[in-house]
Amino acid sequence: MASARITIRPLRRGDYKRIREIERASVDEYLQYLKETREIDTVAPSVRPAYFEHYLKMGSSFVAEADGKIVGYILSQPTSFVHSRRKELSLEYVVVSPEHRRRGIGSELLTEVARWARRHNIRLLYTNLNPNNTESAGLLEKQGFEVRNCMIAQRALN
């Protein structure tokens, strides 16, 4: 079976329903992990319409499409002075649907958001991580992020 063509594009208003579907699958997957490991954490889908509208207005969020269907997304927002820098980009959600992982989609989303940040004179990307998500930590390290204690990752842009 041939690989689907992946395209990265800016977030659009009509993307909300599919973003919620992918988020729900990701949350369900994590809840199953918690059940199997008997670990305790609170998690719930959180991309509500108002949050989605906020990310849309910020202009720094992107989706990945495979043959025209959204299969992943990155929701981010510019911030100021969180980590003693002038302008930063907070990566708040980096999610790829379970059936499309391990195909470079997360890397493509992170590359596109870094391009956006550079064009907007933003020199630091940062995110928070779930300490149990070693796949996410590995992806971020591969993309040049410094992962500190698997909770915070940041990448200075040249």
Q: How many angstroms separate the CA atoms of 80 and 13, rounded?
A: 25
Q: What does the CA dihedral 50, 153, 73, 87 come to, rounded to 10 degrees?
A: 60
Q: Is the pLDDT of residue 1 over 50?
A: no
Mean pLDDT of 142-158: 77
Phi, psi (rounded to 5 degrees) for 22? -65, -40
For residue 56, which of 91, 14, 22, 88 has the smallest C-alpha distance?
A: 14
Phi, psi (rounded to 5 degrees) for 128? -105, 145
User: Between these two residues, 155 and 63, which has the higher pLDDT value?
Assistant: 63
Phi, psi (rounded to 5 degrees) for 55? -60, -40
Q: What is the pLDDT of residues 3-41, one digit of tens each?
A: 678 999 999 999 999 999 998 888 777 777 778 877 776
Mean pLDDT, the chain, whole residue set: 85
Q: What is the pLDDT of residues 41-76, one digit of tens each?
A: 666 557 788 889 999 999 999 999 999 999 999 999
Domains of the chain (ranges; CATH) run 6-156 (3.40.630.30)
